[in-house]
């Protein structure tokens, strides 16, 4: 058994001062304070001094990092991404596809399924974030709001095509972004929901009615709010009218100060609240790399001064999750516990893993990030490894 002691711990819904966390066999055994618990015998104590313990961060929308893309057919791609994620406090992630020729998507889903089924978190090559499922972003997107997704790779949704994608992933698709205004979108959403997929509304030009209809058949999340969405209009509120006002819909947002103005991030947090908002990175292969040219799926992007562009359009980000946490505190005035919730417990709830991840509680996996007083990552623990 290992005992971690620190100045404070965020569960994240509760703050514990002078904290002590006990770990046994990769699982959290107890969360308490040093003053209320006598250490058991034969415990190895790791004193973290003035640092802060928090749940490991979870990114449910990420395309790559460290010069590598998650759709690459190379063995070193995912380990490179996973090492970078772990260095920034991410313990679990959902590799995210982009629209591509159908055969390429099917091949990528098969490779990602292999990675999910074989990943142990270290694999002899250092501490690595663990892929827990796949986020299928495309091909069921609106041409009008496709962003940088290639128009020739967008497909009309239907239940049969979704099932083909599902079979290729061997059931590992856990999030699917879809434009609800497309023909047969509702039937496709219903089929995905039956299989336990979190259906997320995004890359959409939907009017309010179409968005409501999608929720009625099981859609329950929104993808990178404001980006690749019909703008809010006071007479025709569209999809954003639903996202910003419906408390049953969770929603994620890219808080890099580029995709969404800080003042709008503050508005978003006030409307969704710290229980329904989710931070994502939408990070590309350029994350953690110098300015230059990189890949996003099948196409090239250019990175300059923190902006990822292709054809003059934003194409993902170079944001890291720990920076997103610090940014949302600065932009929206959130307390640390609230900001952590949007990067830990909330995404865990979205993808259905909150019983085991996204929190520091007895019985949960020992996925932990250690932060200093400036909320920068000092250490990442994945399944008890890394202490």
Residues designated catalytic: 282
Structure tokens at 94: 């959902």
CA distance 209 to 326: 36
Structure tokens at 183: 């023909």
Q: Locate tokens 């997103």: which residue?
A: 324
CA distance 52 to 226: 33
Size of the chain, expressed as the number of residues it contains: 387
From residue 326, give the alpha-carbon distance in Å to each of 276, 329, 376: 18, 5, 8
292-296 vs 299-304, strand pairing mode: antiparallel
Cβ neighbours, 10 Å, residue 306: 13
Buried b (16+ CB within 10 A) or exposed e, 33-67: ebeeeeeeeeeeeeebeebbbbbbbbbbbbbbbbb
Buried b (16+ CB within 10 A) or exposed e, 148-166: bbbeebbbebbbebbeebb
The answer to whether 18 and 52 have CB atoms below 8 angstroms apart is no
């Amino acid at each position: 058994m290992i005992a971690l002691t620190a100045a404070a711990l965020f569960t994240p819904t509760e703050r514990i001062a002078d904290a002590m966390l006990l770990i046994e066999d990769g699982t959290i055994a107890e969360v308490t304070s040093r003053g209320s618990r006598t250490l058991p015998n034969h415990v190895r104590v790791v004193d973290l001094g003035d640092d802060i313990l928090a749940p490991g961060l979870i990114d449910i929308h990420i395309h790559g990092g460290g010069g590598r893309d998650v759709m690459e057919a190379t063995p070193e791609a995912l380990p490179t991404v996973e090492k970078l994620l772990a260095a920034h406090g991410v313990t679990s992630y959902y590799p995210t596809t982009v629209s591509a020729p159908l055969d390429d998507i099917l091949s990528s889903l098969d490779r990602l399924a292999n990675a999910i089924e074989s990943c142990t978190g270290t694999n002899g090559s250092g501490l690595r974030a663990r892929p827990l499922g796949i986020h299928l972003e495309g091909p069921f997107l609106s041409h009008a709001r496709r962003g940088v997704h290639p128009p020739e790779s967008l497909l009309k949704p239907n239940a049969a095509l979704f099932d083909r994608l599902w079979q290729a992933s061997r059931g590992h698709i856990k999030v699917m972004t879809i434009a609800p205004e497309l023909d047969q979108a509702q039937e496709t959403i219903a089929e995905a929901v039956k299989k336990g997929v979190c259906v997320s509304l995004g890359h959409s030009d939907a009017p309010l009615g179409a968005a409501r209809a999608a929720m009625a058949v099981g859609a329950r999340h929104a993808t990178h709010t404001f980006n690749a969405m019909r703008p809010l209009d006071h007479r025709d509120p569209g999809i954003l009218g639903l996202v910003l006002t419906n408390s049953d819909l969770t929603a994620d947002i890219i808080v890099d100060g580029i995709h969404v103005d800080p003042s709008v991030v503050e508005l978003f947090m006030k409307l969704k609240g710290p229980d329904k908002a989710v931070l994502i990175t939408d990070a590309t292969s350029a994350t953690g790399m110098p300015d230059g040219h990189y890949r996003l799926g099948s196409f090239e992007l250019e990175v300059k001064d923190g902006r990822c562009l292709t054809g003059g359009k934003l194409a993902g980000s170079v944001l890291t999750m720990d920076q997103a946490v610090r940014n949302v505190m600065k932009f929206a005035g959130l307390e640390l516990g609230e900001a952590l919730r949007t990067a830990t417990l909330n995404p865990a709830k979205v993808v259905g893993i909150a019983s085991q991840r996204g929190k520091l509680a007895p019985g949960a996996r020992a996925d932990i990030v250690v932060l200093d007083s400036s909320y920068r990552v000092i250490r990442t623990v994945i399944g008890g490894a890394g202490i």
